[in-house]
Amino acid sequence: MKALMIINGSAYGLDSTYNALRLAASMAKRDGVELTVFLMGDGVTAAMAGQKTPDGYYKLDRMLGSVSRSGGDILCCGTCMDARGITAEMLVPGASRSTMEALTDHTLEADKVLVF
């Protein structure tokens, strides 16, 4: 099954972003699931490497790393990155800059689309 998860929420302002990445990590580990996570809007901030959060607080960059290590693809809206001054070099390993055309392709190919 091909699944597409679109995340729009800011990195640490919304629980929905955290919960979406929890679900993404779980889905990426499942046999037979091809997962693509597409970060849009403020969601692209979740893919910034080297985030510093208080001890005991969740770390979204590490959660995305888990998705990538389990075979999930992590794509970031290039226009959204530009609007926030984020470059490809600032992204976590496994995340890459992408386009609306790629999102369109993944949407049309997906069996399931989840939007957070």
- Taking only the tens place, the pLDDT of each residue in 45-88 is 999 998 888 777 788 888 999 999 999 999 999 999 999 999 99
Number of folded domains in the chain? Answer: 1
| Cα-trace Rg, the chain | 13
Host domain of residue 82: 2-115
Contact criterion met (CB below 8 Å) for 84 and 76: no
The per-residue pLDDT for 19 is 95
What does the buried/exposed string (b/e) look like for 86-112 if buried means 16 or more CB atoms within 10 Å of the residue's CB? beeebbbebbebbeeebbeebeeebee
Q: What is the pLDDT at residue 39? A: 98
Above pLDDT 90, what percent of the chain? 82
Q: Give the pLDDT mean for 89-106.
A: 97
Summarize pLDDT for 6-52 with one digit per residue, the tens. Answer: 999 988 877 999 999 999 999 999 999 999 999 999 999 999 998 88
Residue 110: predicted pLDDT = 98
Identify the CATH number of the domain in which residue 83 sits.
3.40.1260.10
